[in-house]
């Protein structure tokens, strides 16, 4: 029997492939993050067995937070499996595949990242049992902000799933849609992990020096917010790629440029995201230890972050040039 290669079959195929990739890739990070948390919890309990109830509670809440990005991936995968997409344009095949890739890759960093503060909170509970509540709050805030890159990936995959692309010409538009998914997907990895490093330092700091909990939480939020900047550049490039008006062409070069723009921003965001996280991690660490230099450390952190971010801005500029000039 011959396989019918009509639009409906190809779109279904792409949706299934997208669903599989989405959940498969999305499961990696969550498992790593939750495993890290559980490992730290084991270490904490071995140090103070009498606090095992507290540690167990903190571990479960932390793991639930670390799993949320994987749940976003599950939602997108379920939609890809069960929603009937319109079949009048072949572009819907590419948009379903791209949406799956975007959410799958995007869940990776945030899940690993939010495992870090949960592990540190488990350890901290045994260092300062009296500060359990405060540690839990810091951990929840830190992990919630870690989820931001995954939430961006989800917004982009929903736009890819539910926008109407039938007016677009197939040739450059397929590359634009694939590039859009890859840009946000890859761009979310580094900032997700970086934000987790900051939150881990904050949980550690609160446990070490509970009096500094207020400033530590503030600087943590600031550091996490700035380290997500490159993920936002990825979202920006995705939006430009999705909503631009493509002119029909038979050449392969314009398509290659659009795909390259997505990949450039995606990979270019990885390093700065992680690097910014490391800067903020150390700033938070030292702010939790000394009261005197808070203002100076914050200013140095922001200047250091601005310089670290510059390679992300180079990637943004090159992506925009690839889209609009080349």
Distance (Å, whole) CA 11 – CA 5: 10
Q: What is the CA radius of gyration of the chain?
A: 22
- 140 within 8 A of 65, measured Cβ to Cβ: yes
Alpha helices in the chain (DSSP H): 7-47, 52-82, 91-127, 132-146, 148-162, 170-187, 189-208, 213-227, 229-243, 253-268, 270-289, 294-308, 310-324
Least distance to other proteins, CB of residue 122, Å: 21
The single residue among 95, 123, 229, 288 that binds other proteins, judged by CB under 8 A, is 229
Q: Which of 77, 100, 309, 322 binds other proteins (CB under 8 A)?
A: 309
Q: Which is nearer to other proteins, 46 or 310 (CB)?
A: 310
Site stretch for other proteins (CB under 8 A), options 13-21, 52-60, 244-252, 295-303:
295-303
Report, in Å, the least distance between residue 221 CB and other proteins: 6
* Residue 300 CA neighbour count, 13 Å, CB half: 12
- How big is the chain, counted in residues? 326
Of positions 88, 314, 321, 326, contacts other proteins by CB under 8 A:
314
> Shortest Cβ distance from residue 147 to other proteins (Å)?
8
C-alpha distances in Å from residue 92, one per residue of 38, 100, 111, 169: 41, 12, 29, 12
- Residue 163 phi/psi, 5-degree rounding, is -85, 160
Site map for other proteins, 136-165, x if CB under 8 A?
Answer: ----xx--xx--x--xx-xx--xx--xx--
Q: How many other CB atoms sit within 10 Å of the CB of residue 76?
A: 28
Q: Per-residue x/- marks for other proteins, 53-92, CB under 8 A?
A: -------------------x--x--xx-------------
Q: Which of 139, 150, 133 is nearest to 198 (CA)?
A: 139
| 235 lines the binding site for other proteins (CB under 8 A) | yes
For other proteins, how many residues bind (rule: CB under 8 A)? 40
Q: Report helix, strand or coil for 87.
A: coil
Q: Which is nearer to other proteins, 128 or 311 (CB)?
A: 311
Angle at 37 between CA 31 and CA 38, to 5 degrees: 85
CA distance 239 to 195: 23
Q: Which stretch binds other proteins (CB under 8 A): 44-52, 95-103, 167-175, 305-313?
A: 305-313
Contact positions with other proteins (CB under 8 A) in 181-220:
215, 218
- Contacting positions for other proteins (CB under 8 A): 72, 75, 78-79, 140-141, 144-145, 148, 151-152, 154-155, 158-159, 162-163, 215, 218, 221-222, 225-226, 228-229, 232-233, 235-236, 294-295, 299, 302, 306, 309-310, 313-314, 316-317
């Amino acid at each position: 029997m011959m396989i019918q290669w009509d639009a409906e079959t190809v779109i279904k195929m792409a949706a299934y492939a997208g669903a599989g990739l989405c959940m498969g890739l999305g499961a990696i990070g969550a498992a790593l993050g939750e495993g890290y948390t559980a490992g730290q919890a084991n270490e904490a309990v071995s140090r103070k067995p009498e606090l095992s109830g507290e540690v167990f509670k903190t571990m479960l809440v932390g793991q639930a937070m670390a799993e949320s990005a994987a749940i976003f991936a599950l939602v997108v995968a379920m939609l890809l499996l069960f929603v009937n997409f319109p079949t009048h344009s072949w572009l819907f095949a590419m948009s379903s595949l791209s949406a799956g890739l975007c959410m799958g890759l995007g869940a990776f960093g945030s899940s690993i990242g939010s495992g870090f503060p949960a592990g540190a909170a488990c350890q901290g509970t045994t260092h300062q049992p009296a500060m359990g509540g405060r540690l839990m709050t810091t951990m929840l805030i830190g992990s919630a902000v870690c989820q931001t890159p995954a939430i961006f990936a989800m917004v982009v995959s929903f736009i890819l799933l539910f926008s109407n692309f039938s007016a677009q010409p197939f040739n450059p538009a397929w590359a634009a849609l694939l590039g859009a998914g890859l840009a946000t997907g890859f761009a979310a990895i580094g900032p997700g992990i970086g934000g987790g490093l900051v939150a881990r330092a904050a949980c550690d700091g609160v446990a070490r020096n509970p009096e500094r909990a207020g400033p530590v939480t503030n600087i943590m939020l600031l550091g996490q917010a700035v380290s997500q900047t490159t993920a936002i550049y990825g979202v920006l490039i995705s939006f430009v790629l999705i909503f631009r008006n493509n002119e029909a062409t038979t050449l392969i070069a314009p398509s290659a440029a659009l795909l390259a723009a997505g990949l450039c921003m995606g990979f270019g965001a990885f390093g700065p995201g992680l690097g910014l996280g490391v800067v903020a991690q150390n700033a938070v660490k030292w702010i939790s230890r000394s009261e005197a230099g808070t203002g100076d450390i914050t200013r140095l952190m922001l200047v250091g972050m601005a310089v670290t971010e510059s390679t992300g801005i180079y990637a943004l500029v090159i992506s925009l040039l690839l889209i609009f000039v080349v």
